Amino acid sequence: MKRIAHNGDPLYKRVRVKVFLPGNKKHGTVIYKSQSGKGYHATGIDELLDNIATRLEQVYPGEEYRLVALAPDSFNFVHAGANRSGNPVESSDGSAAN
């Protein structure tokens, strides 16, 4: 049975995120499970992805990752190579991401 929030948005019981490490040969999978009777909505999923992206920037500061959405509740962070420019990566709104 599909869960729906009060405002009509879908809720997801699990969110799967797979992170491919430099070289794209090894990966780690994180599955976020919601509490009983609750679920993740689009805003909550965006916050989870932002937290993972921030952590990747801290752990691998010179590397770039590409976010691939496989489904509304399934995502991959794929290693896209080294940040050769040495400049901070800009976010979609034009500000520098730190």
Specify whether the CB–CB gap between 61 and 53 falls below 8 A. no
Identity of the residue numbered 39: G
Do 71 and 41 contact (CB within 8 A), yes or no?
no
**pLDDT, position 93:** 47
pLDDT at 47: 94
What confidence score (pLDDT) does residue 80 get? 86
Backbone angles phi, psi at 96, to 5 degrees: -75, 130
Buried b (16+ CB within 10 A) or exposed e, 59-84: ebeeebbeeeeeeebebbbebeeeee
Can you list the domains of the chain with their CATH numbers?
3-82 (3.10.20)
AA identity, residue 20: F
Instruction: Please report, in tens digits, the pLDDT of each residue of the chain (98 residues total).
Output: 567 777 778 889 999 999 998 877 888 899 999 888 888 988 899 999 999 999 999 998 888 999 999 999 999 999 988 876 655 554 444 444 44
